[in-house]
Structure 1
Amino acid sequence: MFSEKANRIFQSVIETYHVKDDVDQEFKNPFDKKETLIEHLLYRKCWIDTVQWHYEDLIRDPEISPEDALKLKRKIDASNQDRTDTVEFIDSYFLDLFNTIEPKLKAKINTESPAWGIDRLSILALKIYHMNEEANRTNASEKHQIACKAKLDVLLEQQRDLSLAIDQLLEDIKVGDKYMKVYKQMKMYNDDEMNPVLRSKQ
């Protein structure tokens, strides 16, 4: 199943990141873009999410200086754009994969594309990793550990359900029961012409 491969890659990314646990560490993708494109994209996608997860931790430091906060906000903005671009690359992969499939006459469209489901699966892998840390943190109270364990159980159930839903969606597209239709995100706040603040600076 596709989701099994995705979840394995996400777990590998998160564990690799936490060896150094440093947002500025060098990124190395073990998957060749030409030979294993989807694996390459999945690895990159989860790495972006993992670094941004820790950006979000850092920027919530109540003692962070305004200068450092602004620099970090710029990094988060760039990361968000990179995340969106990578999701769209993943959808392009699936559009190409299924480009010869003729949807059935009564084929239905899904509320989200495969890649945006995969995006949520990557974030879930991060939630599970960090909730597991909290559930087993020895310097936390027993009450905290119990509460986090209950949350972890819910996250694991959610991961199973989302994994199944993604696999079912891909299979439905493959046999023509559903069809893909992808819309670009068309974010406006990074556009020099559409963002009135940026436009006024030209």
Structure 2
Amino acid sequence: MNFTETAWRVFNQSIADYHIMDDVDTMLQNPFPTESLEHLLYAKNWIDTVQWHLEDIIRDENIDPTEALKLKRAIDSSNQKRTDLVEFIDSWFLTKYKNISPNSDAKINSETPAWAVDRLSILALKVYHMNLEAQRESASDEHRKNCTAKLNTLLEQKKDLSEAINQLLFDIENGSIKMKVYKQMKMYNDESLNPILYQNVKNA
């Protein structure tokens, strides 16, 4: 089983486990050993799955404004956790490939392995939910037909993205692409960088 096959299996296990309770407040119970890559992949997708449903809830036109603000804060926090975990997965890859010397003409990919994996995790959620819509009995035949067509496109995208990720890892392992990671350095959650936040601290 290659890397993306493993990742896809782990992502779908996370999605299935979440939907047992289907509750954004369900606590993560990661079934994989703490030091394993599967543990990181499961945790990554769990964050994505919870955020998917938070994004659904906040779009309720009748939502109470106070509750909407609370959800917005939760989504912001989730985004930060997502970014942190992606960077942690990239650190895992950096450690894995630390003894590989890139070729003199090695190129740099525009996307790190973990950010490509981030896209695969979101794609697993799209496939899961589009499949539900393609089979939803309460929907019209036209709706199910349209969703089936979209599902087929998503599955083709999954095939292409999986191939691209596996190729990227192969190229890193063989020195034709050098892995270089830049931290995201998000500013909006940092009290020393977001003007609204540091002005509030100064005026407190």
Q: TM-score, normalised by structure 1?
A: 0.98
Structure 1 distance, partners of 2:28, 2:185, is 27
Give me the CA root mean square deviation.
0.5
| Identity percentage of aligned residues | 61
Structure 1 distance, partners of 2:101, 2:194, is 40
Query: Per-residue deviation at 1:190?
Result: 0.5
Query: Per-residue deviation at 1:20?
Result: 0.8
Q: How many corresponding residue pairs?
A: 200
Q: What residue is the counterpart of 1:193 in the other structure?
A: 192
Q: What residue is the counterpart of 1:20 in the other structure?
A: 21
2:93 matches 1:94? yes
Structure 2 distance, partners of 1:116, 1:193, is 26
Query: Per-residue deviation at 1:201?
Result: 0.7
Q: What residue is the counterpart of 2:9 in the other structure?
A: 8
Deviations 1:83-136 (A, max 9, x none): 000000000000000000000111111010000000000000000000000000
2:39 matches 1:32? no
Q: What residue is the counterpart of 2:40 in the other structure?
A: 41
Secondary structure, in 3 states, of the residue corresponding to 1:201?
helix
Structure 2 distance, partners of 1:72, 1:46, is 19
Q: What residue is the counterpart of 2:71 in the other structure?
A: 72
Poorly superposed stretches of 4+, deviation over 2 Å: none
Query: Per-residue deviation at 1:41?
Result: 0.4
Query: Per-residue deviation at 1:33?
Result: 1.3
Gaps of 5+ in 2: none
Structure 2 distance, partners of 1:98, 1:63, is 50
Q: What residue is the counterpart of 1:123 in the other structure?
A: 122
Structure 2 distance, partners of 1:90, 1:168, is 18
Structure 2 distance, partners of 1:16, 1:191, is 33
Superposition pairs for residues 134-145 of structure 1, below 5 Å?
134-145=133-144
Secondary structure, in 3 states, of the residue corresponding to 1:193?
coil
Q: What residue is the counterpart of 1:51 in the other structure?
A: 50
Structure 2 distance, partners of 1:133, 1:25, is 21
Secondary structure, in 3 states, of the residue corresponding to 1:156?
helix
Query: Per-residue deviation at 1:197?
Result: 0.5
Q: What residue is the counterpart of 1:170 in the other structure?
A: 169
Q: What one-letter code is carried by the residue in structure 2 that aligns with 1:20?
A: M
Deviations 1:132-164 (A, max 9, x none): 000000010000000000000000000010001
Gaps of 5+ in 1: none
Structure 2 distance, partners of 1:18, 1:122, is 16
Q: TM-score, normalised by structure 2?
A: 0.97
Structure 2 distance, partners of 1:199, 1:156, is 45
